[in-house]
C-alpha cells in the first residue's frame, strides 16, 4: 500500500534517506533551504520542520496556488486570450503572443512545467479580469478553502513584491491540498511536454532535477522546489 508524503521547501535542497527516520525520532538535516516542512499527506502530521512559520518570498512556488485555484474555478477547456500585459511578463516564459489563444489547461501546463510567468498572468486575467481582483480572490480562496493564514499573494507568478509572501508550512498545506486533485497531480508530475504555441514550438522539461532524474530518487512523483514522493507504508 502506498501513501503520499509532501515536502515543501523555499530553496532547493538534497532529499536524503534520513527523512525516512524523521517520524520516529528528531533529526537535524543539513539543508541549504531557509525553510522546510515535511508532511504526511494522509494525516497532516508534521514529520520535519525548519523555520516553518517564518514569512518568506515564495518566487515561482506561487504557481502551485495559482494552478489549483485555476483548476477548481476555471473551465479547463475554456479558451484564454493573451493580453499585452501577460505577453510582456519578465523572467521564464512560454513565449505567448498578445492576442494568442489557448485552452486554460494548456496554460496551466506551461505555467507549472516550464514556470511560464506569461502563462500565469494570462490565467489570472482570464479568471478574474485584473491582477488585483485575482490576488484578492486567490487570497480568499487560500484562506477559506484551504485554511492557510500566513500567506498573502499579490500576483499569480511570484515576481517580487514586498507584500507577496507565504511560509513553508502554508506551502506544504497548499500543496498537500492540491495533489489530491487528479488534474493538478498529473501536471505536477509531468516530466516532458511537447509545446506548440503561436510563436514557439518546443519540448518542455520539468525544472525539477529529482523528478527528471538528474538526482535519482524514484519515489519522487511530482514537484517544482516542492517535492511529492511515495513511501511504502509498513
What are the grid coordinates assigned to 206, written together?
A: 520539468
Ordered by where they begin, the domains of the chain are 2-56+210-232 (no CATH), 59-205 (3.40.710.10)
Give which of 38, 34, 27, 30 is closest to 14, Cα–Cα: 30
pLDDT at residue number 30? 80
Per-residue pLDDT at 224: 54
Q: Give yes or no for a contact between 87 and 102, defined as CB atoms under 8 angstroms apart.
A: no
Residue 166 has a pLDDT of 96
User: Can you give the pLDDT at residue 214?
Assistant: 52
Tell me which residue of 8, 32, 191, 35 sits closest to 114, measured CA to CA: 191
- CA angle centred on 210, ends 153 and 197, rounded to 5°: 65
pLDDT in tens, 100-133: 999 999 999 999 999 999 999 999 999 999 999 9
Q: Give the residue numbers marked as catalytic.
A: 60, 63, 115
pLDDT of residue 211: 65
Tens of pLDDT, residue by residue over 137-168, are 999 999 999 999 999 999 999 999 999 999 99
Distance of alpha carbon 52 from alpha carbon 54, whole angstroms: 6
Q: Which residues of the chain have pLDDT under 70?
A: 1-27, 207-234
Q: Which residue has the cell 517564518?
A: 54
Cell of 203: 519540448
Amino acid at each position: 500500500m502506498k501513501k503520499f508524503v509532501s515536502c515543501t521547501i523555499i530553496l532547493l535542497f538534497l532529499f536524503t534517506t534520513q527523512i525516512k527516520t524523521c517520524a520516529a525520532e528528531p533529526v537535524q538535516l543539513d539543508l541549504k533551504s531557509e525553510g522546510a516542512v515535511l508532511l504526511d499527506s494522509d494525516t497532516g502530521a508534521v514529520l520535519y520542520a525548519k523555520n516553518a512559520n517564518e514569512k518568506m518570498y515564495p518566487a515561482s512556488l506561487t504557481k502551485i496556488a495559482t494552478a489549483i485555484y485555476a483548476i477548481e474555478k476555471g473551465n479547463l477547456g475554456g479558451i484564454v486570450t493573451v493580453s499585452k500585459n501577460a505577453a510582456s511578463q519578465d523572467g521564464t516564459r512560454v513565449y505567448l503572443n498578445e492576442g494568442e489563444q489557448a485552452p486554460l489547461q494548456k496554460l496551466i501546463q506551461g505555467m507549472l512545467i516550464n514556470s511560464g510567468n506569461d502563462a500565469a498572468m494570462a490565467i489570472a486575467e482570464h479568471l478574474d479580469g485584473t491582477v488585483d481582483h485575482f490576488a484578492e480572490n486567490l487570497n480568499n480562496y487560500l484562506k477559506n478553502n484551504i485554511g492557510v493564514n500566513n500567506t498573502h499573494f499579490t500576483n499569480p507568478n511570484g515576481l517580487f513584491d514586498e507584500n507577496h509572501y507565504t511560509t513553508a508550512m502554508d506551502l506544504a498545506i497548499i500543496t498537500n491540498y492540491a495533489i489530491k486533485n487528479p488534474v493538478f497531480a498529473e501536471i505536477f508530475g509531468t516530466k516532458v511536454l511537447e509545446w506548440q504555441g503561436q510563436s514557439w514550438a518546443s519540448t518542455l522539461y520539468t525544472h525539477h532535477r529529482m523528478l527528471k532524474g538528474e538526482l535519482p530518487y524514484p519515489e519522487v512523483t511530482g514537484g517544482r522546489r516542492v517535492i511529492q514522493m511515495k513511501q511504502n507504508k509498513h
